[in-house]
Homo-oligomer: A and B are copies of this chain.
Amino acid sequence: MGPKEWFPELHPEPDGEPGRHRYDWAVTEPRSLADEPIHRDVALRLARNEQRYTRQRRTMVEALASIGRPATIGELIEAVGELPISTAYRNLAVLGDAGVVRRVNGTDEFARFELAEEVSGHHHHHAVCSSCGLVIDATSSARLEMALAETARAIAAENGFDVADHRLELVGRCLSCARTAT
């Protein structure tokens, strides 16, 4: 198919370098790659899987961190700005394998993604809006968390299931949908 134009309108050739294009996802800034603890952690987890922490992936991690709740693919792409769908899904899969992001199933048909608790350092549960599908983080006190863990442990013992984790899901109406009657 010959040398077709590849993303030319978004990334024109830099001046003085004909034939060479600029790519946002190039890993060209070693200085700032690990200047934040979270990025250092992500880079380490990716390295364990022999994966690179490219600029694209860093942008995605930062977008997920800034959104602060499980984000759909659309929300993630919007937050990042330029992000092809195929790359978004592929990198989410890579980050998922590395234990950096976790996939969250809500009530609608859209998958949502959030930073894993081990990366964000933010243990939480989820409140799901049964009307619009919005998922927000729900934190709890240490006392409540202990009761919940104890409950989960006992339920697991009663049912003979090899439980590694537990998740509490609160189903109801988000503030926006609660305002709009029915």
Which A residues are closer than 8 A to B by beta carbons?
A: 103, 105-107, 125, 127, 130, 136, 138-141, 144, 147-148, 150-152, 154-156, 158-175, 178
Q: Which of B161, B170, B175 contacts A127 (CB 8 A)?
A: B161
A84 CB, min distance to chain B CBs, angstroms: 22
> What would 8 more interface pairs be, CB under 8 Å, given A162-B175, A166-B169?
A130-B164, A139-B159, A140-B155, A147-B151, A156-B170, A161-B173, A161-B175, A162-B178
Q: If the complex has contacts A141-B158, A144-B151, A161-B127, are A168 and B170 also in contact, measured as CB distance less than 8 A? A: no
The residues of B that contact A173 with a CB separation of less than 8 Å are 161-162, 164
The residues of B that contact A174 with a CB separation of less than 8 Å are 161-162
Closest to A178 in B: B162
Measured in the bound complex, the distance between the Cα atoms of B147 and A155 in whole Å is 12
Measured in the bound complex, the distance between the Cα atoms of B134 and A99 in whole Å is 22
Q: Is the CB of A163 within 8 A of B172?
A: yes
Q: If the complex has contacts A167-B169, A172-B165, are A136 and B159 also in contact, measured as CB distance less than 8 A? A: yes
Q: Can you show 15 pairs from A to B with CB atoms below 8 A apart?
A: A103-B107, A127-B161, A127-B163, A136-B159, A138-B155, A138-B158, A147-B148, A147-B150, A148-B151, A151-B168, A162-B172, A163-B171, A166-B168, A167-B169, A168-B168
